[in-house]
Amino acid sequence: MLNIHKVAEEAGVSVATVSRVINNQGTVAKKTQEKVEKVISRLNYEPNMLGRNLRNSESRLIMVLVPTISNPFYAQIVQGIEDIVRKENYNVFLCTTDSEPEREKVFLDYVRQKLTDGVIFMDPAVEVEMLQDLANRYPVIQCCEYNEDLNIPYISIDDTQASYKAVKHLITMGHEKIAIINSDETFQYARNRKKGYLKALEEYGLPIKDEWILKNSELNFEAGQNSMRKLLRADDKPTAIFAVSDILAIGALKRMNEEGLQAPEDIAVVGFDNIPFASMTNPALTTIAQPMYEIGSQAAKMLFQKINTPDEPVSSTLLDNELIIRESTLG
């Protein structure tokens, strides 16, 4: 086994001296230092991180829990996280949970088990008590999806206000029959976006119909296509659609295209997130831009607050969002 003892032995010094050289604390005589360094590079020695972290009870590792990486939405957020984390000389381990509680649990245990120093959690599906319990003892930040009943700092946007804005835009464009393609309402964001949708319709006295309110348990193109298929078969066809995710909106646009329909002439479509691909579609997609990078970097900053001053409370934030108007709603 190649370890610090072996190096010490080869160099004819004690392990303490080797350790001092590795963590260059400057208290080692020059020639001893050189001697040790020579042995280290000759043997190709790397300190074992388990031993080191165990001793230091610190890993300088952050875990980021995402449901999936197939939605580019997360890519930008992770970029924001990475940039801050690296600046602090930490590194990021990204873990995908598929929103499965058991998988989330396994990864969260890594925090309890001291493998990582903290966690940024998007889209938690795990039981709330267990999450709260974890957050009481370790640094945890909720990012994007959150539960405000918990005493865990979160960073997100005001989904209700954002979707209200999106739907109001459709109303301003003259639409009166507006459908929503939503995801699973177990998610807070889905409930909030529906709330904003309903609020806008009520405010303008527009009809609310069950057949215009669709839910999807999966969030992918196919779900968007399926939802659009259903809407095109509705007794009373909507003239505009608000999809709570660009992915769903793009699937919907595709379905229209397959049926020979045009956006916005036949049906206008608004998405949500402003993933890079949203501007690449034809027609380009009107959408709510979340400040993804900013969300990520803020989340990381909040996490470091918790790590560095565990006893001081970290305040939660809702960031601004922006309606990006493109061809899919512009007559």
Partner DNA sequence: ATAATTGATGTAACGGTTTACATAAATTAA
Partner DNA sequence: TTAATTTATGTAAACCGTTACATCAATTAT
Q: Could you list the residues that contact a copy of itself (CB under 8 A)?
A: 44, 46-54, 59, 68-70, 72, 74-76, 78-79, 82, 91-96, 106-107, 109-110, 112-115, 133, 220-221, 250-251, 253-254, 257, 276-277, 279-282
Q: DSSP string covering 86-146, please?
A: HHTT-EEEEEE-TT-HHHHHHHHHHHHTTSSSEEEEES--S-HHHHHHHHHHS-EEEESS-
The answer to whether 265 and 331 have CB atoms below 8 angstroms apart is: yes
Residue 13 · residue 32 · CB < 8 Å? yes
Q: Does 54 bind DNA (CB under 7 A)?
A: yes
Which residue reads 């709260």 in tokens?
A: 132
Please identify, using beta-carbon distances, which residue of 128 and 280 lies nearer to a copy of itself: 280
* HSE, side-chain direction, 13 A CA sphere, residue 43: 19
Which residue, 151, 138, 148, 142, is CA-closest to 124? 142
CB closer to DNA out of 33 and 68: 33
CB of 188 or CB of 226, closer to a copy of itself:
226
How many angstroms separate the CA atoms of 33 and 26, rounded? 9
Rounded CA separation 64/119 (Å): 6
Q: How far is the CB of 127 from DNA (least distance, A)?
A: 23
- 269 bridge partner residues: 241
Q: Which does 94 bind (CB under 5 to 8 A by kind): DNA, a copy of itself, none?
A: a copy of itself
Nearer to DNA, 4 or 270 (CB): 4
* Helix segments in 259-312, DSSP class H: 292-308
- Per rule CB under 7 A, is residue 3 in the interface with DNA? yes
Sign of CA dihedral 5, 8, 13, 17: negative
Residue 32 interaction partner, one of a copy of itself, DNA, none, beta carbon < 5-8 Å per kind: DNA
Instruction: Render the burial of 238-267: b for 16+ CB within 10 Å, e for the rest.
Output: bbbbbbbbbbbbbbbbbbbeeeeeebbeeb
Candidate residues 24, 38, 51, 217; the one interacting with DNA per rule CB under 7 A: 51
Our finding on whether 44 is near DNA (CB under 7 A) is no
Q: Segment near DNA (CB under 7 A), from 29-37, 241-249, 260-268, 275-283?
A: 29-37
* Residue 78 touches which of a copy of itself, DNA, none (Cβ within 5-8 Å per kind): a copy of itself
State the minimum distance, in angstroms, from the CB of residue 170 to a copy of itself. Answer: 21
From the list DNA, a copy of itself, none, partner contacted by residue 315 (C-beta under 5 to 8 A by kind)? none
Q: How far is the CB of 61 from DNA (least distance, A)?
A: 15
CB of 276 to a copy of itself, least distance (A): 6
Q: How far is the CB of 47 from DNA (least distance, A)?
A: 4
User: Using CB distances below 5 to 8 A depending on partner kind, what does residue 221 bind out of a copy of itself, DNA, none?
Assistant: a copy of itself
Residue 161 site contact among a copy of itself, DNA, none (CB < 5 to 8 Å, cut-off depends on kind): none
Query: What is each CA distance from 222 to 45, 227, 284, in whole angstroms?
Result: 51, 8, 19
CB atoms within 10 A of CB 319: 14
Secondary structure of residue 269 in the 3-state scheme: strand
Q: Which does 147 bind (CB under 5 to 8 A by kind): a copy of itself, DNA, none?
A: none
52 binds DNA (CB under 7 A): yes
Sketch the per residue contact string, 311 through 330, with DNA: x for CB under 7 A, - otherwise.
--------------------
Q: In angstroms, how far apart are the furthest CA atoms of the chain?
A: 87
Residues that bind DNA (CB under 7 A): 1, 3-5, 12-17, 19-20, 22-23, 27-29, 31-33, 46-48, 50-52, 54-57
